Structures are given as C-alpha cells and as structure tokens.
Structure 1
C-alpha cells in the first residue's frame, strides 16, 4: 500500500521538514507560505498549456528553481513575479489556444486569479488576518488538487495527490500549529 501512496508519504515528510525549522514568528511564516502560494496555480496553468501531464514534476522543479532565484534577488517580489508569469501564460493561452479547450482554460484561469489574489491580499494585510487568507488559499488549493486527482486531468495523478496533501497540511500548520 505504501508503494501506491508514495506521494502522500513524500508530502507528509516534506511538510514536517519545512515546518519544523521555522522561526515561529507569525509574520515570517505567513510571508514564507504567502510567497509560495502563487506557484501552485502557476504550475497548473503552465502544465495545462503544455498539454502533457507527464511533464508535471519537471515543471515543479523549474518552478522551485524560479522561486529560489526570485528569493535571492531584491528587485521583484516573489509572489508578484509568480502572478505576472501566470498572467503571461494565461495570455499565451488566450492568444494561441489551449490543448484542453476553452472551458478547461477558463477554470485554470479562475484558479490562478483566485489563489493569486488570496496570496497577495494575505501578504498585504496584518499577519493575524493574513494567516487566515493564506491558509484558506493553501486549503482551497488542496481541494483543487483532489478534484484534479479525481478527474485525472491537467497534471500527473501522483502530483495532484502529493500537492493536495502538502496544501492541506500547510493550511493546518498555519491555522493550528503556530
């Protein structure tokens, strides 16, 4: 059974490792997870436009590399840059067309807008309120992942399972473990 649930086991291990060494400061934790939240819908938008779920894990690796590079510089805010990239990919889809059709494209666009907005607003307000907005974004994206897992579309099933577990556990961390 563990062989089939490796994405869940990997997700639990990742969340334990990333949350165990945190500063414990609410503003820092909200900032860290708020900065990363726009990457989640961006991955879906990019993979949707590519039209090949098998590239999901490669796109995740590239997305993490972009996040690291953005964090290393002080010119552009990480979440703003990720939202801008998502908008560029959405414009690309609107102009070029999409492999999965307009309806699926519209759903991915709505997700990118909603999760990006939760992240940006969550970072802009007081950390006490921001924690709930960012947690809502992570939790709702977990639901998004599980819906995509059930539908078996857009991203690889292993990624949808992994990401859904990560997202829900991060939301729990933000709400109850800080």
Structure 2
C-alpha cells in the first residue's frame, strides 16, 4: 500500500511529465537568461526572418486538417530555414511568405478558405505575424528589434489561445511554442 507522500510525489512527477513541452522550452532558453548571456545584435534579424514560420505552420495544418502532423511540419520548416541560411539561397522570410501565399492561393482556388472559418483565422494570423516580421526587418535595427519581439510575444499569446481552444496544432506544440515565443521576446528586449 502506498502512503500519502508517495502518492503525492507520483502526482507531482506526472504533473511535470505532462508539462514536458514547457520543460523543454525552458531548458533551451533559461541558461542564457539566468547567466545574462547577451544575444548577438543580429539576433533580431535572425528571429525576424524565422517569425513567418510560426503562422505558416498553423496555416498548413489548418489547410490539411491533420493535427498529428504538427511536429513533422515544424521540423520540416525549421530544416528549410536552416538550409536557406546555410546555403545563403534566399532570405528565409521570403521563402516562408512565398509558401504562405501559395497555400492561401490554393485555399482560395479549391474553396477551402471560404468554407473553413479555422483556415480564415490562420490566414489572418499569417498576415498579422508576417507584417510584424517584415516591418521589423524593414525599419531601423533598434526599433525593428522591438517590433520583432512584439511579433514573437503576440504569437506566444496566439499559441496559448490555441492551446486553450485545443484546435489546429498538437497541444504539445502549442504549449512548447508559446513558452519559446515569450522567451524569444524577452531575450530580444532585455538581452541584446
């Protein structure tokens, strides 16, 4: 028979295991934040280039209607961004915005955009967060950093709303991405 302390500890362990996305996100960022490690001033541009990936993943998943593909879609997007940076083929934001436009045109042509309120919501997200990214990259570097940080922060809110709604993306991704987005925003504002 288990005593109350064992049951309590097991409950805490299960609770922590259910929050694995938050734990992974914190493990990625907290060491730099705690150490006060400054971020490279070019990080704002790097994060600005990557910001369109976030709403694009939501758009693609809303189009396909397959939440179980969340992590593969995100990993493929990250791999594309990394390859574009490594081979200096084009700005990742240009590629991501192009893919988003292609998905939007496809959705208009096949009528999905008209039929699906969820897809329309994600289309608005693509436009709003894409505007944050492009504005942040186009204006003065110092001001652009704050615009890009605001885009990441608002996308974190977007993630938590989707976590609460339990729609479009896997809950684990919405939780992980929400924490990462807020931490990126904090890093952009306070550690550059």
Same fold (TM over 0.5): yes
- The CA distance in 1 between the partners of 2:113 and 2:69, in whole Å, is 14
Q: Is the contact made by 1:48 and 1:98 (CA closer than 8 Å) also made in structure 2? A: no
Structure 2 distance, partners of 1:100, 1:173, is 39
Correspondence list, 1:86-105, <5 A: 86-98=100-112, 101-105=115-119
Q: Report the Cα offset of residue 72 of structure 1.
A: 2.0
1:157 lines up with 2:177 in the alignment: no
Query: 1:50·1:99 contact (CA, 8 Å) conserved in 2?
Result: no
Distance 1:128 1:18 in 2: 21
Q: Aligned partners of 2:43, 2:132: CA distance in 1, in Å? A: 15
Select the structure of larger CA radius of gyration: 2
Q: Please say if 1:136 is aligned against 2:144.
A: no
Poorly superposed stretches of 4+, deviation over 3 Å: 16-20, 22-25, 97-101
Correspondent of 2:99 among 85, 95, 104:
85
Q: Name stretches of at least 5 consecutive residues in structure 2 with no aligned partner.
A: 1-14
Please state whether the residue corresponding to 2:17 is helix, strand or coil: coil
Give the corresponding residue for 2:125: 111
| Unmatched 5+ stretches in structure 1 | none
TM-score under structure 2 normalisation?
0.85
For the structure 1 residues 153 and 99, does the alpha-carbon distance in structure 2 shift closer, same or farther, using more than 3 Å as the test? farther
Q: Counterpart of 2:186?
A: 172
C-alpha contact 2:22 2:175 (8 A) present in aligned 1: yes
Superposed displacement of residue 31, structure 1: 0.9
Query: TM-score under structure 1 normalisation?
Result: 0.91
